[in-house]
Structure 1
Amino acid sequence: MTASHRIVLIVSGGIAAYKSLELIRRLRERGVAVRCVLTKGGAEFVTPLSLAALSEDKVYTDLFSLTDEFEMGHIQLSRQADLIVVAPASADILAKMTAGLADDIATTVLLATDKPVMVAPAMNVRMWDHPATQDNLATLKRRGVRVIGPDEGPMACGEFGYGRLSEPETIAAAILDALKKDTAPKRPLLAGRSALVTSGPTHEPIDPVRYIANRSSGKQGHAIAAALAAQGAQVTLVSGPTRLDDPAGVETIRVESAQEMLDACRKVLPVDVAVFAAAVADWRVEQAADSKLKKQDGSAPPTLSLTENPDILKTVSSAPKDRPALVVGFAAETGSVVEKAIAKRGRKGCDWIVANDVSTGSGTFGGEDNQVHLITPEGAEEWPRLSKAEVAERLADRIAAHFASETDKPVLIQKG
């Protein structure tokens, strides 16, 4: 790491602001240039002089300083860095970031920047647990903001729980990792590969109005398609009904039922890798009504005769020809997640299974985060709770690494 790497460190209000001094020291030891922005609240806990002495650079505190604007300007300040870091990030500044407010130098820099942003939250445990704060964090993550911490432990207010600022060494390590990733030359590891991804629920008609479905939002499957495309793969996404936009750079085929999804997948084959993230309905009505089933006063509800839907994952995994080199299934389970996923991998004949807990309260269906286990022939890996975009990126990285190790296999499967 060289001094050509520069961050802007925004220090917002809170007792944890004193840790920013140690963070600066650790970054400077590693050759990272630090330029500080101090909010009015942050200045109640640390002084501009302390930050300036450790960073060996000017500290910015006033949006309307004629001298500062003449020398640098808040627009230049927001863009002449490799990374913008907010540590500590108070509940207030997180809310302002989410809303796009720009009422001081710190929030103006954040709104004007075109560089990656990282936040290290620090606040009272009740403030951290408040739905408004959690909604703000989910929105910022969705926009690509990296979040470090917070940690659990005793607080200056006397309470105990999550809300403690992560230790300076932890934040410094995350910053260095981000700088390496953001400044490293990007090489599309899956360039020349083709991929099929399924996503969302399926809707199985009961009549022209009603259908059988599930709670899948499609967020995880769509994120996987986008992550594979970002790695250079030629991706086709077969999606059930969702409210999501089509991922950029991905060919999307929209379907309704399980049978339509299977038919679409067969048309896409052959591909190098297939990821079956869709939550396909297990059953459908054996004979859907042509007209709306009417409720009759005093009469019993209609009896629905169900039949099994085609098993898309098993069908593709066991195909005598056109089987993808790597088939990845998903297992949405409630209880004994790993054990059930290992058994499912054996039954379906796929190579990997991504297993997650969809029990009530897990927040998986429709939520922004996911916690999964990756089941491979080598065993089960527990991944930490991550945003669905981060899960997708990690899975795409594993898929790329898998193909990189299989040098004896062809790089491209040509269609037609």
Structure 2
Amino acid sequence: MNSTKKDIFYAKVRFWLDKISFIDIKKFGVPAGIIIFSTVTFIHLTAAAFQTNAVDFYAFYTGATLLITDKDNLYNPRVQYETQERLFQKDYKYETGFMAFINSPLSAAIYVPFLLIPPRIAEKAAQALTLAVILWTVFRLYRFHKIKFLSWTTFFVASFYPIYGSVHLGQIGTLIFLVVAEMYMAFMEKKTVKLGILSSLLFFKYQYLPLAFLIFAIYEDRKKFIKVAGPCILLLALINYLLMGNGLLTQYVSLMREYVSTPGNFGMEYKFGMDIYSLLAVINEGFKNSPESIMGVGILALFIQTGFFIFLLKKENSYTHGSDIFYFSLILSLVMTPHSMPADFIFLLIPVIGLLPRIKKVWFYAVTAITLSFFFYFSAFGWQWTHTILLLFYLPLLALTAQKNPGFIGQKVHKAIARENPII
């Protein structure tokens, strides 16, 4: 290389080095890191989920099949087992476990369209639809909060463990997630009719129906809300009863007695949930898996949720009727509702997306991110009760953010998070 060519070459090198030196690493490096991490993590979670069996889908597909072909035996465990084995050929044994359908006939009806597809193809279609619903719901929440895709919020959303659990199971909980997200947006925009109709849809996973009552307690236009939600809930209950009838109601009670009494069969031990009653089960060395124990859990849940309902009603003038009190009610409902499982905590994406962009202090950001997101990677593998404890400690922080006139500690929390701008 002659001298002239060398000079030209070195001049070009210096030119590009000068260009690179002016690149803002923070401006370009952070977004690149967010994109790479979010993409890799999200693909890993969803790909892993698609490689699993959608076991909850088996139960709903079985329920839909019996609803159409043999409704009189919808809650007959032996018929459920034989039908499920014929459909999915998983070599389950009645004595060692299968996925029992224990939900309402209405929830089975939602899965009837899947009967047009062969069972194993329908299973993957359900997982794909679950993923699509999650992505659509996240998109709706991002647009509602005006969040940019290239933000730290995306970092936590993409690595959110319950996404895996929801896609893996392929069950109705993801549709309820969409419903609750739309409820949240209707609540914030004070669209009472929409909020009332959406709240009634919680009937499809009836253990979360108490959330509708908590929303009633914190909503300002209660009269209009109950005029819409009340008749809609009664209508769904009537349709469900007409599908069920007295015979199936008796059969359902019998199925539930067997389901909760045989955790090694097609029931489950209570300590594997993420609600407060699972925590009590661990402390108490496990509830006795008996109808009496589960009935006791149901009564305890009713009393606890009624207590919080009354508390929120009486304290209505002490808190702002915005996002924070909604998040408080949502997390409270998850923790206080029997049989809350890791996949159900997909609901936490609603406060994750809404809270993180508003937080100004590192300590509150870290506490929120760990509690609502990262801790799943520890708790989902057999230590679910630890997450329950963490959420119980986090609830008072949320309550303080919603307080109108907080005390000394509340003022510290208020300084850690930006106040909301009115939606309307």
Please, what TM-score do these two structures have when normalized by structure 1? 0.25
Instruction: Choose between structure 1 and 2 for higher RCO, CA contacts under 8 A separated by at least 6 residues.
Output: 2
More strand by percentage:
1
- Structure with more of its chain in helix, by fraction: 2
